[in-house]
A and B are shown apart, each in its own frame.
Chain A
Amino acid sequence: MFRTLWQYRHFIISSIRGDLKGRFVRSRLGGLWFILHPLAQALIFSIVLSEVLKARLPDTDAPAAYPIYLLSGMAAWSLFSEILMRSMTVFIEQAPVMKKIAFPRLCLPIIVGGTALINHLLLLVALFVIFIFLGHIPGRALVLLPVGIVLIAAIGFGLGVILGVVNVFIRDVAQVMTIVLQLWYWLTPIVYPVNVLPEKYGFLIGLNPIAPLVALYQDALLFNRWPDPGSLIMPAMLGLASMAFAIVFFRRASPELIDVL
């Protein structure tokens, strides 16, 4: 399987290039949009929450700490949601090609994942520039960021492919997931710091595999502290398990996938 995928590496790479190109080409601000969106969102949240709700962040004296906190969490979340949502719909979008050309179908979610990762790296670079602009330079904990990227991508890819296969048979899945993701976003400490949460809801954070990864981003980019290794066990296990199950599930489903597309 991996050998055939390797043979198709050029197709995968040029598809990723095409995806990125398609996203930025022919809009006046081109590549700037992908940073303008999260910036605008961060600005809105900053205004609404830090001024109106007087949200305060503990453990930091960084200037503009709240926008940086927001942007870090949102970056982590956007990587997760983009891989998840696009893997979920990629089979339906690419149905004509899948039906009429014989090629390893696993290329498709890999292209989605690759595009999202490159996008994400560009976003991180842009965020860095903004952070420096805001007078904040992330510290040594930054070296752990790749761990967060890998785990988020693994969970997003695994869940995305599993749900993507199910979505081919039951199209409501993608619709339901947009709502689930909204809820999930608000159940993850991205917009608010974890300490504002009432004690009795603490268990929700404990169950949320994305929460420790978002925290890792915030730690790495803002607080400059090392994450609790124990908190990463659950996301790592989930990432591994979902990836493995996704590949098996996809291979079993593959023949019938084409039949109902």
Chain B
Amino acid sequence: MTVLSVSNLSKCYASYASNLERFAGWFGAPVKPTEEFWPVKDVSFSLSAGEALGLIGQNGAGKSTLLKLITGTVRPTGGTAHASGRISAILELGLGFNPEFTGRQNAFHAGGLMGLSQARLSELMPYIEDFAEIGEFFDQPLRTYSSGMQARLAFALATAERPEVLIVDEVLSVGDSYFQHKSFDRIRSFKADGTSIILVTHSMGDVRSLCDRVILLDKGHVLKDGPPDEVVDYYNALIATKENDKLTVEQRREKDQWLYSRSGTKAVAVESVALTDSDSGAQIKTAVSGQSVTVRTRIVAKEDIPELVIGFMLRDRAGHTVWGTNTWHTGQVLSNITAGDKVECRLRLACALGQGSYGLSVALHTGDVHIDNNYDWIENIEVFDVINSDRPVFVGTSRLEHAFEIIR
């Protein structure tokens, strides 16, 4: 069932030769703006009940404007956004709060601003008080609150009633990690109850863990709309190659839905990557938890480059980073590579992983991160399984050394 449908939504900010012309325009005079700026143009998508959409893109991509258009505070120039129920937007926490009011009074006050009736707010008040967890401060003036307490109250109020569509704009980074978890759980339970969610964030971890689908916005357009890993990897590749005119991004789905994506200038390129057993040197597809493995990477230079850093990263099935580092951090930067040079990199690892499937990514670049001079960057070039054969069963991706000591 479609809960929110957005079709050809556009917003234009117009400048006029003079303000008089602008005023005349409101009363029907035919006025031409001198300049137009379209922060959002022809955006269409629809959300079904319980679907969570992540909205990503660089600053100025039009994310916030799009949210305001859907929320209804900014009126669209063209297109429509139609929701089949109540939209609740958390674009900023604590808007409309009065510092002289107590937490309770503010909940009534700002709740009224959000369009909730006083009777409904009275019913919700015990929940708000309970969720905010600010104790007796709930009946103290807001000015005595810490910013974290304000955020708690604001979030409790904003999520007091389950809306059909919940819009969240980068507000989950406030507060301590306990409350962040609690907020996320709240959003997840809304989702489970059928609320559609639109989340804007710069945290790709949040996107991967919460969203079913991601839209990448660029200059007001939808650049990519698809599953989180695909869009997020594409976005990362885009950032890395932003400065480069030789932009190439290649993506495809491998076996078991692992997403392979490759970007970079290819001034130096990866020829092959192989996962091998450290002792025998034999290539493997499955590693035993605790086994010593070696990643053999062959690299060939096609151009002269002053500096080369080789980086590796392991991700689990959900796309969370398990581990990663590069030769910049280990102080093994290669310098003065000339065209035709071949490099072999052997990365020896103790496979201290839990059972599951893992993707290995490799990146060739300069500096400590792959943002400047991305030569070749391949996500999930090698996918392998880890099995646990010698340890008692444990869950999770990390094989932590452990021992129980039980006293009775």
User: In the bound complex, how far is the Cα of B23 from the Cα of A169, in angstroms?
Assistant: 10
B72 interfacial by beta-carbon distance below 8 Å: yes
- B71 lies within 8 A of A102 (CB): yes
User: Contact at A258–B74, with CB atoms within 8 Å?
Assistant: yes
List of A residues within 8 angstroms of B112 by Cβ = 8, 10-11, 14
Contact residues of A between 210 and 261, Cβ < 8 Å to B: 249, 252-256, 258-259
The answer to whether the Cβ of A22 comes within 8 Å of any Cβ in the partner chain is yes
Tell me if A18 and B89 are in contact (CB < 8 A): no
- From known contacts A96-B95, A97-B95, A252-B26, infer whether A103 and B115 are also in contact, taking CB-CB under 8 Å: yes
| B74, A18: Cβ atoms closer than 8 Å | no
B92 at the interface (CB under 8 A from A): yes
For window 63-91 of B, CB contacts with A under 8 Å fall at 68, 71-75, 87, 89, 91
> Is A25 an interface residue, CB under 8 A from the partner?
yes
The minimal Cβ–Cβ distance linking A186 to chain B, given in whole angstroms, is 30
By a CB distance below 8 angstroms, the chain B residues around A140 are: none
User: Do B114 and A259 have beta carbons less than 8 Å apart?
Assistant: no
In the assembled complex, the CB of B151 is this many whole angstroms from the nearest CB of chain A, namely 15
A101 on the B face (CB < 8 A) = yes
Bound Cα distance A14, B114 (Å): 13
Q: Are B92 and A18 in contact (CB under 8 A)?
A: no
Contact partner of B109 (CB less than 8 A), chosen from A18, A102, A169, A256, is A18
Q: A25-B100, A98-B73, A258-B75 are in contact. Are A252 and B109 (CB under 8 A)?
A: no
Q: Are A10 and B74 in contact (CB under 8 A)?
A: no
Q: Which of B75, B98, B113 contacts A101 (CB 8 A)?
A: B113
User: Is the CB of A179 closer than 8 A to any CB of chain B?
Assistant: no
Among B72, B99, B113, B115, the one with the most A-chain Cβ atoms within 10 Å of its Cβ is B113
Partner of A252, one of B13, B27, B71, B98: B27
| A100 at the binding interface (Cβ < 8 Å) | yes
> With the chains together, A144 CA to B89 CA distance in Å?
48
Interface string of B277-301 (1 = CB under 8 A from A): 0000000000000000000000000
User: For chain A, what secondary structure do more than half of its interface residues adopt (helix, strand, loop), or is it mixed?
Assistant: helix
With both chains docked as a complex, state the minimum distance between the C-beta of B405 and any C-beta of chain A, in angstroms.
Answer: 54
Q: Which residues of A contact B95 (CB under 8 A)?
A: 96-97, 100-101
A residues near B99, Cβ cutoff 8 Å: 22
- Contact in complex: B113, A256 (CB < 8 Å): no
Distance between A48 CB and nearest chain B CB, rounded to angstroms: 37
Cα of A22 to Cα of B97 in the assembled complex, Å: 12
**Interface: B260 (CB within 8 A):** no
Judging by beta carbons under 8 Å apart, are B74 and A256 in contact? Answer: no
- Contact: A99 with B68, CB < 8 Å? yes
Question: Hey, what's the 0/1 contact readout for A11-48 against B, CB within 8 Å counting as 1?
Answer: 10011001001100100000000000000000000000
How far, in Å, is A15 (CB) from chain B's closest CB? Answer: 7
Q: Which of A80-112 contact B (CB under 8 A)?
A: 96-103
Inter-subunit contact A102/B89 (CB<8 Å): yes
Question: How many chain-A residues does the 8 Å CB contact rule pick out?
Answer: 29
Distance in angstroms between the alpha carbons of A18 and B113 in the assembled complex: 13
The answer to whether B108 has its CB under 8 Å from any CB of chain A is yes
B22, B68, B74 — most chain A CB neighbours (10 Å): B74
Known A18-B109, A97-B96; contact A102-B22, beta-carbon cutoff 8 A: no
Is A175 part of the contact surface with B, judged by Cβ < 8 Å? no
Interface residue B159 (Cβ < 8 Å from any Cβ of A): no
Q: Which residues of A contact B101 (CB under 8 A)?
A: 14, 18, 21
| Cα(A78)–Cα(B108), bound, Å | 31
Chain B residue at smallest Cβ distance from A169? B19
With both beta carbons as reference points, the residue of chain A lying nearest to B112 in the complex is identified as: A11
A7 close to B (CB within 8 Å): yes
Which residue of B has the minimal Cβ distance to A94?
A: B96
In-complex Cβ contact of B92 among A96, A252, A254 (8 A): A96
CB A166 to nearest CB in B, in angstroms, measures 8
Pick from A25, A102, A170 the residue with the most CB of B within 10 Å.
A102
CB distance from A178 to the nearest CB of B (A): 20
Q: Which residues of B have CB within 8 Å of A100?
A: 68, 71, 73, 89, 91-92, 95
Residue of A7, A166, A253, A259 touching B74 (CB-CB under 8 A)? A259
Tell me if B335 is interfacial: C-beta within 8 Å of chain A: no
Any chain A CB within 8 A of the CB of B397?
Answer: no
List B residues 187-230 near A (Cβ within 8 Å): none
Cα separation A177 to B13 with both chains bound (whole Å)? 28
Which residues of A, 93-146, contact B by the 8 Å Cβ criterion? 96-103
**28 pairs, A vs B, C-beta closer than 8 Å:** A7-B115, A7-B117, A8-B113, A10-B108, A11-B109, A15-B109, A21-B98, A22-B98, A97-B96, A99-B74, A100-B71, A101-B89, A101-B91, A101-B95, A101-B114, A102-B71, A166-B19, A166-B23, A169-B19, A170-B19, A249-B26, A254-B75, A255-B74, A255-B75, A256-B22, A258-B73, A258-B75, A259-B13
What 17 new A-B contacts, CB under 8 Å, besides A8-B115, A14-B105, A21-B100? A7-B115, A10-B112, A10-B118, A11-B113, A14-B109, A18-B101, A18-B109, A22-B100, A101-B73, A102-B72, A102-B73, A102-B115, A103-B113, A253-B23, A254-B75, A255-B74, A258-B73
When A and B form their complex, which 5 residue pairs have the shortest distance between CB atoms, in order from nearest? Answer: A11-B112, A252-B26, A255-B75, A18-B98, A100-B91
